[in-house]
Amino acid sequence: MALVYIGLGSNVGDRKANCRRAIEGLNSKGIVVMKISSLYETKPWGLKEQPDFINMAAEVETGLPPEELLAAVKDIEKDMGRDSTVKWGPRIIDFDILFYDDIVVNINHLRIPHPLLHERDFVLAPLSEIAPDKVHPVLKKTVRQLKEELKDA
């Protein structure tokens, strides 16, 4: 089983309920949720003219390889009613695979670790709550260190 960290976010409808429902969706796909962070209300990133987000992070265990895990979370997004929208636009739910064990994946539609996680407080805040000592396999810094560096920037 792989230990994986996933970021979740919602800014459409009942944002908190959407995040809780997404966690239930992971369990329904056989992805075992080990820990979840608190819910964080955050300002939009990228496209600013949209409602605020609720973000959280989850630590999960899965036997799915990375591409199958991506397909599973995309299925949950679709089942919850996510439509294709503009990049970084409003969404009922969004999953990002942040870390998958300590591996690095760089293929067209999947990059792990997530390439922007170290630039996003809405990712680092909830992630640091559940995995402060997780080491980024490329940057060789803990989540706690990345969060501190972002705060100091």
Which residue of the set 52, 75, 83, 91 is catalytic?
A: 91
DSSP 4-40: EEEEEEE-SSSHHHHHHHHHHHHHHTTPEEEEE---E
Q: Which of 94, 111, 121, 152 is catalytic?
A: 94
Is residue 144 among the annotated active site residues?
A: no
Q: Which of 83, 96, 101, 121 is catalytic?
A: 96
- Per-residue DSSP letter, 138: T
User: Catalytic residue at 52?
Assistant: no
Tell me whether residue 111 is one of the annotated catalytic residues. Answer: no
Q: What whole-number distance in Å separates Cα of residue 20 and Cα of residue 87?
A: 23
List the beta bridge partners of residue 5: 59, 99
For β-strands 2-10 and 53-62, DSSP reports them as antiparallel
> Which of 14, 82, 102, 152 is an active site residue?
82
Q: Is 82 a catalytic residue?
A: yes
Residues annotated catalytic, as ranges: 82, 91, 94, 96
